[in-house]
Amino acid sequence: MFLFDAHLDLSMNAMEWNRDLRQPVSAINAREAGLNDKPDRGRATVSLPELRKGNIGLVVATQIARFVAPDNPLPGWHSPEQAWAHTQAQLAWYRAMEAAGEMTPIRDLAGLEQHLSFWNDGAPVEHKPVGYILSLEGADSLVHPDYLDIAWAYGLRAVGPAHYGPGRYANGTDSSGKMGQAGLDLLKKMESLGLILDATHLCDDAFWQALDHFQGPVWASHQNCRALVPHNRQFSDEQIRALIDRDAVLGAPMDAWMIVPNWVRQQSTPQGMDCNLEKVVQHIDHICQLAGNARHVGIGSDLDGGFGTEQCPADLHTIADLQKLDALLAAKGYSATDIEQIMHGNWLSFLRRNWEEAM
């Protein structure tokens, strides 16, 4: 089945992890044998050939670069200008992949429909470029909200104002507090350009404030359920219902600590915690039960977003294994139509609805 993945940190893997994503996953992992600078070395799950193997023809691909103040212990850049420059290096990698015929940018409804028609024309997909919609995860790298004019021109179509910790525009995971004027100015600029607000990672205070101040399209690219994993990184049922009311879609991520409760980073194992794709389906089902239908959830895997097979479902060895969700959803009682919506249809409907309105 055609699959849409709404969150992949492809350029981060290329530029920070130094992975040649044109290679098979096996080759990437073999080259990392013996390295230990990252917890997931030798455990990668994502590459462009593996996306094609899984018929994952369309993704939301990120730029990401955090600014950190002197008292912030998180890794990141020491000035917004440095962070901006890093996102531009990431953009250069996407452009290089386009030039190599590996990827193709999707910026509007016409481009979306053209790519879908091309990818699904019945011809083998082994050499087709993967379509990508560019998103910014965490807005710290925007030196000023007006930098969005530049970013929109080069193809940015979605922005998540926050990531982990305190941010320049909004506070994210493991932090609290409402947005200041800079954050509100960012939302206003995003709305004027027609950018999608990615609510993922917003702390609770910023989440409710953003929904109050932003009237444009909203999604949550990679977000699970607090009712199943009690942590501020997940959304409460009240937050999920608010997104449903905004006609949003939430993407199910494959990060184990967001799938099963009580995960301890670099100690727990997928096998030991019984973390598998069936547990992911439980989060998907929870959202569907809150909505009363299957129209507000999709896939936002976040695979190789700083973790690999040491911290993802035990029955997922590469990103192509997302196709296993088809049978698991069917076993849960979901119809073929519902499964198609979850695997790709809900994201496509969201884009068609909102990009058509913007034209």
C-alpha span between 74 and 68 (Å, rounded): 7
Cβ-based neighbours of 329, under 8 Å, separated by 6 or more: 281, 284, 338, 339, 342
C-alpha span between 149 and 101 (Å, rounded): 27
C-alpha span between 275 and 344 (Å, rounded): 24
Domain count, the chain: 1
Does 359 have pLDDT greater than 60? no
Mean of pLDDT values over 223-233: 98
Predicted TM-score of the model (pTM): 0.97
94 is written with which tokens?
Answer: 């996407």
Helix%, strand%, coil% for the chain, nearest 5: 40, 15, 45
Write the burial class of residue 267 (CB in 10 Å: 0-12 exposed, 13-18 middle, 19+ buried). Answer: exposed
Does 131 have pLDDT greater than 60? yes
According to the model, what pLDDT value does residue 305 have?
Answer: 97
Question: Is residue 60 within 8 Å of residue 85, measured between CB atoms?
Answer: no
Write the burial class of residue 153 (CB in 10 Å: 0-12 exposed, 13-18 middle, 19+ buried). Answer: exposed
When pLDDT is cut at 50, 70 and 90, the band that residue 334 belongs to is very high
Mean of pLDDT values over 37-66: 98
The residue behind tokens 């525009």 is 169
C-alpha span between 1 and 220 (Å, rounded): 23
C-alpha span between 162 and 201 (Å, rounded): 6
Q: How far is CA 91 from CA 72, 84, 87, 95, 204, in A?
A: 26, 11, 6, 6, 30
When pLDDT is cut at 50, 70 and 90, the band that residue 356 belongs to is confident
Does 217 have pLDDT greater than 60? yes
Does 310 have pLDDT greater than 90? yes
According to the model, what pLDDT value does residue 161 have?
Answer: 98
According to the model, what pLDDT value does residue 138 have?
Answer: 98
Element holding 130 (H helix, E strand): strand 130-137
Distance of alpha carbon 326 from its chain centroid, rounded? Answer: 20
Range of the domain at 237: 3-358
Length of the chain as a residue count: 359
Does 46 have pLDDT greater than 90? yes
- Averaged pLDDT of the chain: 97
Mean of pLDDT values over 100-120: 98
Does 99 have pLDDT greater than 80? yes
Sign of CA dihedral 17, 31, 103, 347: negative
pLDDT digit string, tens, across residues 76-88: 999 999 999 999 9
**CATH code of 120's domain:** 3.20.20.140
Q: How far is CA 117 from CA 4, 58, 112, 323, in A?
A: 14, 12, 9, 21
Does 358 have pLDDT greater than 80? no
C-alpha span between 219 and 350 (Å, rounded): 9
pLDDT digit string, tens, across residues 251-300: 999 999 999 999 999 999 999 999 999 999 999 999 999 999 999 999 99
Mean of pLDDT values over 311-325: 98
